[in-house]
Amino acid sequence: MKNQDLVEYLRSCGVCEICQLRYLKARGAEYRNINETLQKLDVKLNENVENEELVISDGIQPSKRARLGVCSTCLGLFSKDFQNELLNSILASDFAKYDCQKIVLAICLPMSLQLRQLAMWFALQRRFGASIDENNPPDVPIKEAVKLILHPIICEKLAKGYDANGLMINIDLTHSLEDEEVEKLVKLNKEAFPAKASHQKRIEISRGLLEKQYQPSKVKAETYEKYFQIPCSNVEESIKLTSIDLQGPLICVAGRYRKLSRELSHTPWILNGQRLMEDSIEEIIIRHVGPHFTEKLGKITFMSSGREDVDVRCLGKGRPFVLEIPNARRTCLTKDEAFAMERAVDASGMVSIHHLQVVPREELTHIKTGEEQKKKFYRALCALHEPVSVKILEQLQISASFNIQQKTPIRVLHRRPLHTRPRTIYSVNARVHRENPKALIIDIVTQAGTYIKELVHGEFGRTTPSLSSIIGKPMDIQALDVVGIDLDWPHEVDNSKQKE
């Protein structure tokens, strides 16, 4: 089969030049200069073809343009008219509201298009016989061609880069023949793929099904031809754009927070429909960081590497956190902007954040996994009923790690199942409080997930051993601070320094 013969046959079937190149299996940049590529492939140019550029600059309306012939295989998808319509519709949408440098097109194609590819496949088999494979499409499939042809053109015209994680432009297309042809397709499907048993549900018609099952090795041309023409019929009307919907990218903003208040919950604290605390770490951070990226603050997800109790502070370098912001309007955060957000959060007096930055989505694994293996560093203020003795101090200097068994504390039983969990305590280091001889300041390093309050007082033997059982005396915990979290993420950035 010579390229010239193939192209001449395609031309006789009303196939456009871009689609001719698809059947010549052109790649990437070869679609940019049609004539050059045709010549390179030893195909004579068609003198009779209307110059599309000329038609548009003459100001001929699309309806008149249709009479010049809509491609029977792509239904005008690759025509200049359609490219212009698509471009103008994107510009008329909320596109300008998104400050994103990267975009991706998600085009939902009518099923009529896929049916037409199959019709042409059959037609080529009849015309060129065995040189046309019955398992591998004779053309570059439409979906792939959209990526090769439409994507680069639209990206270039909009001056945006391509990225699968960029602003998603969802484009719905239809064709006036779609309903009628889908109806016929349902009948064809019953005949081509009869249900094997009466009780078996018939398979739903879908684009995926068309892709997988509708090829000459699986559907007979004779069956197909009962419902559709081979080669496909010419059409008057071009494909139509029904809607454009924009979906901004998912942006992840990470940082570290310090919790300075002993009266602040991690997330909104609601019990029996009643709000117990006015504010929360989650809300304070989202309130000051969220609006830069989205109007819908309620859609933002707050995550952190563990959490502390309401009355526990988190000091030192702070606790890593991340906000997952869907459908973001912006993808960037300058140091200036980040610093302004950090200061706004600090002004709450209850939470302080730093190292605020946009991070790649893949890095979220740092916060989501390995939680149990991490070490946590605490400082506890504890009280005895008697002055601290040298013996007690010696008993609470433990540098070798040891294991404890910890039953779920009674205070969290309403939200956690009852289990006994082994936990490792890496070290304990106590000293007497300078102003109170009955008080101890104890630094404790534990495996993540250890309940510290119960580790101290033992909770009636539900945690064994406990610091109280080790010294053989009752001990209360009066205040607790988290002083370190064993996660070196996100990397440190000093947003207050504008010049690097």
User: Which residues are at the interface with Zn ion (CB under 5 A)?
Assistant: 16, 19, 71, 74
Instruction: Check: CB of residue 113 under 8 Å from CB of residue 178.
Output: no
For residue 142, the minimal CB distance to Zn ion (Å) is 9
For residue 70, the minimal CB distance to Zn ion (Å) is: 8
- Alpha-carbon distance values, 418 to 306, 392, 406 (Å): 20, 32, 10
- Give the phi and the psi of residue 88 in degrees, each rounded to 5: -65, -35
Which one, 146 or 448, has the nearer CB to Zn ion? 146
- The CB-of-239 to Zn ion minimum distance in angstroms stands at 10
Interatomic CA distance for residues 131 and 103, integer angstroms: 39
E-strand ranges in 272-412 read: 274-275, 301-304, 312-325, 351-359, 375-384, 397-398, 402-407
CB of 71 to Zn ion, least distance (A): 3
Based on CB atoms, which residue is closest to Zn ion, 147 or 262? 147
Q: How far is the CB of 224 from Zn ion (least distance, A)?
A: 20
Instruction: Report the residue number, 79 or 265, with the smaller CB distance to Zn ion.
Output: 79
Residues 6+ apart with CB under 8 A from 494: 354
As a dihedral over the C-alpha atoms of residue 279, residue 285, residue 287, residue 289, rounded to 10 degrees, the angle is: 180
325-342 in b/e form (b: 16+ CB < 10 A) is bebbbbbebebeebbebb
139/342 with CB nearer Zn ion: 139
Query: How near is the Cβ of 20 to Zn ion at its closest, in Å?
Result: 8
What is the rounded distance in angstroms from the CA atom of residue 105 to the CA atom of residue 202?
A: 32
Q: Which is nearer to Zn ion, 78 or 489 (CB)?
A: 78
Angle between helices 151-158 and 80-92 (to 10 degrees): 50
**What is the DSSP code string of 276-305?**
-SS-BHHHHHHHHHGGGT-S-GGG-EEEES
Pick 72 or 265: Cβ nearer Zn ion:
72
In sequence order, the β-bridge partners of residue 235 are 70
Catalytic residues, which ones?
309
Question: What is the identity of the amino acid at 410?
Answer: I
Please report, for the chain, how many H helices and E strands are present, in that order: 18, 17
Residue 150 near residue 84 (C-beta atoms within 8 A): no
Q: Which residues pair with 456 in a beta bridge?
A: none
For the bound state, the minimum distance from the C-beta of residue 176 to Zn ion, rounded and expressed in Å, comes to 17
- Closest approach, Cβ 74 to Zn ion, in A, equals 3
Residues 314 and 307: their CA atoms lie apart, in Å, by 9
Q: For strands 102-108 and 161-162, give the pairing.
A: parallel
Contact 19, 37 (CB under 8 A): no
By beta-carbon proximity to Zn ion, the closer residue of 16 and 168 is 16
d(CA 477, CA 453): 6
Residue number with CB closer to Zn ion (74 or 428): 74
At how many degrees (to 10) do helices 111-128 and 3-12 cross? 130
